Amino acid sequence: MASNKIGRYEVESKIGEGAFGTVYKARDPALDRAVAIKVPSLKLSDDELAKLIIEFHREARIGAQFRHANIVTVYDLGVIEQGKNIKMHYLVMEYVAGVELKKYIKQVDQLAYREILQIVFECCKALDYIHFHKNVHRDIKLGNIMYNPNYPIVKLMDFGITDQINYKTAKSVGTLLYMSPEHFQKDGVLTAQTDIFALGAVMYQLITKQPPFNGKDISAVITSIRKANPTPLQHYRPDAPRELSDIINRALAKNPEDRFSTALEFASAIQRLLDSLFNEEASTEASLGEAKKVSQNEDYVFLRDNSWFKDFSPSLIEELVKVGKIETYQADQLIVTEGEIADSFYTIISGSANVVKSSSTIAKMAAGDSFGELGHITDNTRRTASIRTAETTKVLSVNFKTLESLSAENQAMLYKGFFKATMQRLTTLMKSMKI
């Protein structure tokens, strides 16, 4: 580079280079933060450069809309005049202190199963968010996932070919070793299951360090993807749990309808296996940090799958998981007591409970029902009734003070839910009174 600056950004070092371009670490002096800048290669042909610039603009447009902990944020898109008819395009993104998974698996002898499962779980959350917003990534692969095991950080990147769900696509879209069988069908349609297939291929490589489908040439690879079954995990790692094989086999099913129906369902299967592995090892090596992570995984799946939160985006659910408290109550146990100060609202995630006033049951509550939200409207409001479980029940609670620290969007969604719950109760009461 002729200068140590790209636009207003001060270049510090080169952090990656490929056939199509270079990535630099830089500093944004205006906002005083580290950034990553992607610049196309000067060796590209005019046609290659034109195609890459289109992908830059697509990545900037789509990536700038995404706000998720497991997705690299796009900050800026720019162009610099370098002379007559010469322009240098660049894309500015969040800087992630980590490495691509493609490089990481070469740095370690063998990844622990729990580490692999947690990486894929975080990727599932990113896909859950992308699919919730009606997009398909279309290029999930080891090289498009940033990872830092020390924190840990897992982030998807490169949205240059991302598009809307059900986009009818040509065979060339994506990276061959991660393409699904539907890529090679006459009227191939890419859906959420296409991304799930690619993530299944990533998961297989994290375990075996080999792609699930291979061949001596492109035609052989395509035939393998369409017709062959991957070599069993146990060939590479004899101790691989059967449940792990089941998850990968389902993700890599030839028929999209046989795969996980959603990224959330994929995440749920991983969470159950993580929970099982954690419990097996809890007495020896499991740490408090790992216990918290396993618990948060379970909470995320529970809330995303709960009817009360069906309109909440995955990123809002993740925010709630971090500030809320999910507890399990046994049968005939009090959740709140009549007369006590109301300082939290509650949502029943699973199970059921009775509303008790003056020792009499006046109503019943089931999964998806909420209570206590009216206490947020007036300070020092006391509970007008007790809530006693009718069976083993899982409940989310959010303290009113904590609630105020949530994002404006999350608060708005919660208040909308409170309003609907209140109106449903009033409607039920009016019907009972025949008003």
- Statement to judge: residues 325 and 427 lie in one domain: yes
Q: What confidence tens digit (pLDDT) does each residue in 300-315 have? A: 998 898 888 889 999 9
- Statement to judge: residues 82 and 150 lie in one domain: no
Burial class of residue 399 in the structure, from the number of CB atoms within 10 Å of its CB (0-12 exposed, 13-18 middle, 19+ buried): middle
CB atoms near residue 192 (< 10 Å): 26
Q: What confidence tens digit (pLDDT) does each residue in 75-124 have? A: 998 888 766 666 778 889 999 999 999 999 999 999 999 999 999 999 99
Q: Which two tokens stand for residue 293?
A: 């992570």
CATH (domain of 387): 2.60.120.10
Helix (H) or strand (E) holding 349: strand 344-350
Using DSSP's 3-state secondary structure scheme, residue 204 falls into: helix
CATH (domain of 52): 3.30.200.20
Q: Which two tokens stand for residue 187?
A: 């009227």
Cβ(195)–Cβ(179) under 8 Å? no
Q: What confidence tens digit (pLDDT) does each residue in 235-293 have? A: 999 999 999 999 999 999 999 999 999 999 999 999 999 988 877 665 455 565 666 77
pLDDT value of residue 171: 45
Q: What confidence tens digit (pLDDT) does each residue in 52-87 have? A: 788 778 878 888 888 899 999 989 988 887 666 667
pLDDT value of residue 83: 62
Question: Given pLDDT bands bounded at 50, 70 and 90, which one contains residue 2?
Answer: very low
Name the active-site residue from 128, 139, 299, 369.
Answer: 139
Asked whether residue 29 is domain-assigned, the answer is yes
Selected residue with higher pLDDT from 425 and 252: 252
Cα separation, 91 vs 35, whole angstroms: 10
Decide which of 62, 94, 126 is a domain's last residue.
94
**If you average pLDDT over residues 319-340, what whole number do you get?**
92
Using DSSP's 3-state secondary structure scheme, residue 361 falls into: strand
CB atoms near residue 187 (< 10 Å): 6
In 3D, which of 241, 213, 208, 240 has the Cα closest to residue 229?
A: 213
Q: What confidence tens digit (pLDDT) does each residue in 339-353 have? A: 998 889 898 888 999
In 3D, which of 301, 305, 308 has the Cα closest to residue 124?
A: 301
Cβ(13)–Cβ(74) under 8 Å? no
Q: What is the 3-state secondary structure (H, E, C) of 31-94?
A: CCEEEEEEEECCCCCHHHHHHHHHHHHHHHHHHCCCCCCCECCEEEEEEEEEECCEEEEEEEEE
**228 pLDDT higher than 60:** yes
| Core vs surface per residue 252-291: b (16+ CB within 10 A) or e | bbeebeebbebbbbbbbbbbebbeebbeeeeeeebeeebe
Cα separation, 127 vs 267, whole angstroms: 10
Selected residue with higher pLDDT from 121 and 377: 121
In 3D, which of 156, 137, 138 has the Cα closest to residue 146?
A: 156
- Statement to judge: residues 257 and 201 lie in one domain: yes
Question: Given pLDDT bands bounded at 50, 70 and 90, which one contains residue 46?
Answer: confident
Using DSSP's 3-state secondary structure scheme, residue 207 falls into: helix
- For residue 159, the Cα-to-chain-centroid distance in whole angstroms is 15
- Statement to judge: residues 108 and 247 lie in one domain: yes
- Statement to judge: residues 295 and 330 lie in one domain: no
How many structural domains compose the chain?
3
pLDDT value of residue 336: 94
Residue type, 372: G
Q: What confidence tens digit (pLDDT) does each residue in 193-226 have? A: 999 999 999 999 999 999 999 999 999 999 999 9
Active site (annotated) includes residue 139: yes
Pairing of strands 86-94, 74-83: antiparallel
Strand 99-100: give its sheet, edge to edge: 99-100, 145-148, 153-156
- Statement to judge: residues 105 and 154 lie in one domain: yes
Alpha helices in 230-358 (DSSP H): 233-236, 242-251, 263-281, 288-304, 314-323
Decide which of 281, 305, 329 is a domain's last residue.
305
- The distance in angstroms from the start CA to the end CA of the chain is 78
Decide which of 283, 305, 327 is a domain's last residue.
305
**If you average pLDDT over residues 354-364, what whole number do you get?**
91
Q: What confidence tens digit (pLDDT) does each residue in 147-182 have? A: 999 988 999 988 766 665 554 544 456 789 999 999
Q: What confidence tens digit (pLDDT) does each residue in 380-405 have? A: 578 889 999 999 999 999 998 888 88
